[in-house]
Amino acid sequence: MKKLEIIIKPGVFEKIKAVLTELGVHGLNYSEIRGFGRQRGHKEVYRGTIMQVDCLPKIKVEVVVHDEAFEKVVDAVVSTVRTGQVGDGKIFVSDVADAVRIRTGERGDMAL
């Protein structure tokens, strides 16, 4: 099992959700986060005072998928979100040691 942390612009979350559902992903969670990468932030001006806002709002989607589905999911996300501009986002991938479905006690791939 692999966990994907997909960091994207807020506007594309619904598209990602639709694509993941289409690929048979049964669950995900997301959070509204702030941060910066190469895009950095923007300038805001209040009564002549210039403020550099570095951390922009982003969405982080967390999803755990079967090893064999993993490449397909990554490709689908990338092709859905990519615009070629800085700020498109990132995907961090990590191995997941185990999973437990609390209702039944199922473990591993069965629990997804």
Partner 1 sequence: MNASDTAFVIICAAMVMVMTPALALFYGGLVRSRNVLSTHMHSYASLGLITVLWVLVGYTLAFGEDVGGIVGNLAYVFMRGVEGEAAPAAAQLPHTVFMAFQCMFAVLTVALISGAYAERMRFSAMLLFSGLWLIFVYAPMAHWVWGGGWMAQMGAVDFAGGAVVHMASAAAALACAKALGPRVSLESGVVPNNLPLTLLGGGLLWFGWFGFNAGSALVAGTLAGHALATTHVASACGILGWMLVEWKRTGKPTTLGAISGALAGLVAITPAAGFVGILPAMLTGFVGGIVCYGGVLLKGKLGYDDALDVVGIHGLGGTWGALATGLFASASVNEVNGLFFGNPHQLWVQFVSVVGTWVFVFVASRILLYIVDAAVGLRVAPEAEFTGLDLSEHNERGYAL
Instruction: Looking at 1-99, list the stretches that DSSP marks H as alpha helix, in order from N- to C-terminal side.
Output: 13-22, 70-81
Q: Does 31 bind partner 1 (CB under 8 A)?
A: no
Q: Does 48 bind partner 1 (CB under 8 A)?
A: yes
Asked if 35 and 56 touch (Cβ cutoff 8 Å), the reply is yes
**Burial degree of 73 (CB within 10 A; 0-12, 13-18, 19+):** buried
Q: Does 102 bind partner 1 (CB under 8 A)?
A: no
Give the Cα separation of 33 and 58 in Å (integer). Answer: 5
Q: Does 84 bind partner 1 (CB under 8 A)?
A: no
**Which residue in 5, 44, 54, 109 binds partner 1 (CB under 8 A)?**
44
Give the Cα separation of 15 and 4 in Å (integer). Answer: 16
Please state, as a whole number, how many other Cβ atoms lie within 10 Å of the Cβ of residue 30: 15
Least separation, in Å, of the C-beta of 111 and partner 1? 35
Q: Mark the segment that binds partner 1 (CB under 8 A) among 24-32, 41-49, 64-72, 80-88.
A: 41-49
**Which residue in 51, 55, 78, 93 binds partner 1 (CB under 8 A)?**
51
Q: Does 96 bind partner 1 (CB under 8 A)?
A: no
Q: Mark the segment that binds partner 1 (CB under 8 A) among 8-16, 34-42, 49-57, 76-84.
A: 49-57
